[in-house]
Structure 1
Amino acid sequence: MADQAERLLVVGPSWVGDMVMAQSLFMTLKQRHPDAAIAVVAPGWSKPILERMPEVDEVVSLGVGHGEFGLRARRALASGLKGRFSRAIVLPRSWKSALIPFMARIPQRVGFLGEQRYGLLTERRKLDKRVLDQTVKRFVSLGLPLVEAERGDFAIPRPRLRVDLDNLLALRLKFGLSSRLAIGMMPGAEYGPAKQWPIAHFHALARQLIEAGYAVRVLGGPKDRAAGDAIVDGLAHAHNLCGETALADAVDLLADCQQVVTNDSGLMHVAAAVGVRIQAIYGSSSPAYTPPLTAQASVHYLALDCSPCFKRQCPLGHTNCLKQMSVEGIQRSIIADAPA
């Protein structure tokens, strides 16, 4: 089918960071098929992120919670998609994620083998984790011909989210943000505490940065509100915005920071995609597997004998991979990375 008539459906992932990394696939598809239209099936929360990606022409919201099967909702959504798409790319490896393209009778359906979904996909690819050693590589590979994908030496475009300057101005006024140069802090990590630098470390760093003339903005969801309160406690020029902003607002506020200090989290990937300088902290996860996709990053990883374990909670009970990462070391990196 000619590119100008081709319509592509991508079944997107369920995590913020993965959705940002999926933009590398969308960019690759547009580079190779500039006249094709791309629609993304995704959870409703991700719509504000997808709307900041110029490559995405349509967002198809799936009203099913994370981990929920939702057969009725999937069937209803698939019914409305019939006849509209020539090819589907399924990013998650779960059985249920391949249902919508199958029920929508999309002729070409590509994805990795997983969860016995042989009949749901027309092109089932084996995942060679040695070649496709990063999440973003796996996403991009599914948009490429098999021979090229198997080599693993293809280009990875870096995600780039649009920034709304009018919204940023409104947010600065709404929250009375300091006119000082801002350092963003993201203390959360949805995956679990084995990826979270100690809150006391964040607080000590915030104090030192404010004494050096910076403002601090703590960003995250409602679950991070208490952590944000602890970080800004007793500090002037420190703003706890956790749970106070929408995901699209976080895009604009991060773009306005000079640097950010962040765990390996979804907001880390958002920060990378708006071009801000990143101090990326890794504990139980690996910077080799999910690195910030930017040249503007300093990665902090102790690489202890027990790391990476990829566990939600430290199996040894000490989380030394994070506790032993010093405040002074992060502060020195911020100073070294500051513009002249």
Structure 2
Amino acid sequence: MTVERPDITTEDPDMILYGPESDVVPAEDSSSNPRRILIIKLSAFGDFILSIRSFQAIRAHHPSADITLLTTKPYVRLAEASRCFNSVLTDTRPKIFEIPALLKLRKNLRSRKFNRVYDLQRNERTKLYYKLFPSQKPEWVGNVKGCSHYYEKPENGIYHISVREKSQLEIAGITNIKLPDLSFIKADISDLHLPRNYAMLVPGGAPHRPEKRWPTGQYSALSDHLTHLGITPVLIGTEAERSQCNEIEENCPAVLNLCGKTSLEQIAVIARKAQLSVGNDTGPMHLIAAAGCPVVVLFSKASDPNKISPIGPDVQIICEDDLQDLSIEKVTSALPAITFD
């Protein structure tokens, strides 16, 4: 299976990192200079990480604007740390019949008098939010019929979500979109007692999607392989994945089992120093790849990497219709070269 990688590169001499370390930002479009901007990105975790490069590009394009993000509770802390936004609003995603909550949201959105909205969620909910604004709508960059900057998803072909988002922003004049810069993420990992040379393994995934998981026994075999190379496997997961991580630890006692012990921020910091990472198609792999760690991501036919694979400087994709059939040899042959400190 051929995977169309998003049009990103780390070799572009004009690459601008839009995080807190960057001092270079492009000028605003003189034909449109919105002062108050709303960005909408509600979920899910992998999608939110993929949109960080868009957040940074929007901030760079509008350096003096007052920018607000509307998102959901799990992503507020990351958003605030990114320095892309002047403020962050938490969306409770009220249902259509929850009239008081919708009226409260409408009042909050209208009171801020936004000049432009970048709708990076592009779904039925955000089409509803468009209607919450008064008849004199702000400029709207999205796929709501009648909006000022309409993005229409191509009818033919398969497009990665980041490619579609890039095309959407180009309609508003934002063209210099590069790899995300996660240097803004800080966390203390001293209490985790990480070894000098380690690899991150992410054996879990959504509980209701077991077909997206490589078998635990294969992760145990991979752990043994890494151990013999002098690399300590570090297991990353949530409490929902504890049984898988514990089984791997029982089969390979040399692993460092951090299941349930890491925050999102800590995962990003751990990834910066890891030799490599191997994991299923699950949210943390997006964060690990964006942090700069070389990653190998395992896809079954349950999801399409052409649409939603992680982006980063070194991403390898392995596709197998049924991950039960994916051999340990195929995975180990895809591992990046290992250098020791």
- Contact 2:34/2:116, CA 8 A, preserved across alignment: no
The answer (yes or no) to whether the contact 2:199–2:231 under 8 Å persists in 1 is yes
- Which residue number corresponds to residue 289 of structure 1? 307
Please give the alpha-carbon distance, in whole angstroms, between the structure 1 residues aligned to 2:37 and 2:317. 35
Shift of 1:295: 2.7
SS at match of 1:49: helix
**1:29 aligned to 2:47?**
no
Per the TM alignment, residue 12 of structure 1 is displaced from its structure 2 partner at its CA by 0.3
Q: Secondary structure at 2:64's aligned position in 1?
A: coil
**1:186-335 paired onto structure 2 within 5 Å:** 186-190=202-206, 192-284=209-301, 285-302=303-320, 319=322, 322-334=323-335
Match of 1:20 among 19, 29, 49: 49
Could you tell me whether the CA contact under 8 Å between 2:66 and 2:86 is conserved in 1? yes
The 2-side partners of 1:130 and 1:54 are apart by 37
Q: CA deviation at 1:42?
A: 0.9
Q: Are the aligned partners of 1:62 and 1:73 in contact in 2 as well (CA < 8 Å)?
A: no
Decide which of 29, 32, 35 is 1:6's aligned counterpart: 35
Q: Which residue of 1 aligns with 2:339?
A: 339
| Residue 298 of structure 1: how far off its partner (Å) | 2.0
* Cα deviation code 1:43-88 (max 9, x no counterpart): 10012332343323322111348x9985543432331232421111
Q: Counterpart of 1:289 in 2: which secondary structure?
A: helix
Other structure's SS at 1:329 match:
helix
Residue number in structure 1 paired with 2:119:
90
Q: Which amino acid aligns with 1:245?
A: T
**Matches of 1:235 and 1:68, distance apart in 2:** 50
Could you say if the C-alpha distance between residues 331 and 203 of structure 1 is closer, same or farther in structure 2, counting changes exceeding 3 Å? same
1:50 aligns with 2:44: no
Task: Provide the C-alpha distance between the structure 1 equivalents of 2:293 and 2:150, rounded to a whole number of angstroms.
Answer: 38
Structure 2 unmatched runs, 5+: 1-28
Structure 2 CA distance for partners of 1:14 and 1:68, relative to 1, 3 Å: farther
Task: Give, in whole Å, the separation in 2 of the partners of 1:257 and 1:206.
Answer: 15
Q: Given that residues 238 and 259 in structure 2 are in contact (C-alpha distance below 8 angstroms), is that contact kept between their aligned partners in structure 1?
A: yes
1:135 aligns to 2:127 (yes or no): no
- Please state how far the C-alpha of 1:7 moved relative to its aligned partner: 1.9
TM-score by length of 1: 0.78
Shift of 1:256: 2.8
Q: Using the TM superposition, give the Cα deviation of residue 107 of structure 1 relative to its aligned residue in structure 2, in angstroms.
A: 1.8
Q: In structure 2, what is the equivalent of residue 181 of structure 1?
A: 197
Q: Report the Cα distance in structure 2 between the residues aligned to 1:257 and 1:279, rounded to whole angstroms.
A: 13
Matched-pair contact (CA < 8 Å) for 2:34–2:65:
yes
C-alpha RMSD over aligned residues = 2.9
TM-superposed CA distance for 1:276, in Å, is 0.7
CA-to-aligned-CA distance 1:216-247 (integer Å, 9 cap, x gap): 22112221121111222243342222222222
Contact 1:110 1:122 in 2 (8 A): yes
2: CA distance, partners of 1:57 / 1:262: 34
Counterparts of 1:250 and 1:101 in 2: how far apart (Å)? 35
Q: Distance in 1 between matches of 2:198 and 2:81?
A: 23
Query: Contact 2:46/2:286 (CA < 8 Å) preserved in 1?
Result: yes
Paired residues of 1:23 and 1:159 also in contact (CA < 8 A): yes
**Matching residue of 1:313:** none
Aligned twin of 1:160: 181
**Residues 231 and 78 of structure 1: CA distance in aligned 2, closer, same or farther (over 3 Å):** farther
3-state secondary structure, aligned to 2:204: coil
Q: CA deviation at 1:261?
A: 0.4
Q: Which moved more, 1:198-207 or 1:54-63?
A: 54-63
Q: Kindly state the Cα deviation for residue 275 of structure 1 after the two structures are TM-superposed.
A: 0.5
Query: Which letter maps to 1:298?
Result: Q
What is the rounded CA distance, in whole Å, between the counterparts of 1:212 and 1:33 in structure 2?
48
Q: Give TM-score, length-normalised by structure 2.
A: 0.78
1:53-92 alignment, distance < 5 Å: 53-64=82-93, 72-84=100-112, 85-92=114-121
Q: Deviations over 1:230-285 (max 9, x none)?
A: 22224334222222222222222222322110112211110111101111111122
